[in-house]
Amino acid sequence: MATIKRSRAQAWPEEQGDREHGLYSLHRMFDIVGTHLTHRDVRVLSFLFVDVIDDYERGMIRSGRDFLLALERQGRCDETNFRQVLQLLRIITRHDLLPYVTLKRRRAVCPDLVDKYLEETSIRYVTPRAHGEAEHGLGHPHKSVPPHHPVVCCSSAGPQICTKRPGRGRTLLSSQRKRRKSATPDPKEKQTCDIRLRVRAEYCQHETALQGNVFSNKQDPLERQFERFNQANTILKSRDLGSIICDIKFSELTYLDAFWRDYINGSLLEALKGVFIT
């Protein structure tokens, strides 16, 4: 009877539910790890388990995925136990595959928006100049044109019109230059960005201040609860450190990039702590 092999692209039956929860199925994890195992790795792994896997099972092993499936059938690996797989990968010095032995889906890396903007603007500023040079044909001999058309001569001083009939040709060329200049943004133009940052400081542990300082001897449970609430509210208001508003103006995009990175990694928060402490 011919055996039907599951292709790598074909989904496993249990994978649909796991995908909704951001997880891989066990067999999909076998596919990912197994495709990175070489034939030499598979031979070494099969030799290490020569006493565990019988001859029939070893004969069915053709790839890393087949070996991992054999481990599952022998009860050496399941959704809650990857210890045997991790140990084997360390033995064959395939430490690069250890991060893939997990059922959690790897999150896609989002590109840095600031780096993307810098790349796009740098290309936008450079491309029109190169396009203009190619259009004028810098460094290449000019083709022969009829005498009634203006001829563009390229020299070290820039493109010039070498014709005895100025009028129409000069007007067309000047209009094209103006149109190209208006369409191309000026790289020297300053672009600024204004940011208003509100920073509020709070104590982290309120329990220590409230414990032992909130008390009520009222007989009515509702009145006792209101009195305790008012006492706690007064204590919390006294611990309010207030807030500050920072108006920041960035004249360079690189400064905005540095500010955003400090905001993300927490360096800005540490610097602002000193403002409130002092």
pLDDT, tens only, 207-242: 777 777 888 888 888 888 888 888 888 888 887 777
Residues 78 and 128 in one domain: no
Task: Compute CA 213 distance to the chain's CA centroid, rounded to the nearest angstrom.
Answer: 48
Question: The domain containing residue 251 runs over which residues?
Answer: 193-277
pLDDT for the residue 168: 52
pLDDT in tens, 79-114: 888 888 888 888 888 888 888 888 776 665 566 666
H helices within 197-243, ranges in order?
207-210, 221-238
pLDDT at 137 over 80: no
pLDDT at 45 over 70: yes
Residue 175 lies in a domain: no
Residues 258 and 207 in one domain: yes
User: Does the pTM of the predicted model rise above 0.75?
Assistant: no
pLDDT in tens, 237-257: 887 777 778 788 887 777 878
277/274 Cα distance (integer angstroms): 5
| Separate counts of helices (H) and strands (E) for the chain | 12, 4
Residue 57 sits in a domain whose CATH number is: 1.10.533.10
Closest of 205, 218, 204 to residue 269, by C-alpha: 204
When pLDDT is averaged across residues 114-126 and rounded to a whole number, the result is 61
Give the residue, 72 or 200, on which the prediction is more confident: 72
When pLDDT is averaged across residues 54-61 and rounded to a whole number, the result is 76
Q: Which amino acid, one-letter code, is at 199?
A: V
Residue 91 lies in a domain: yes
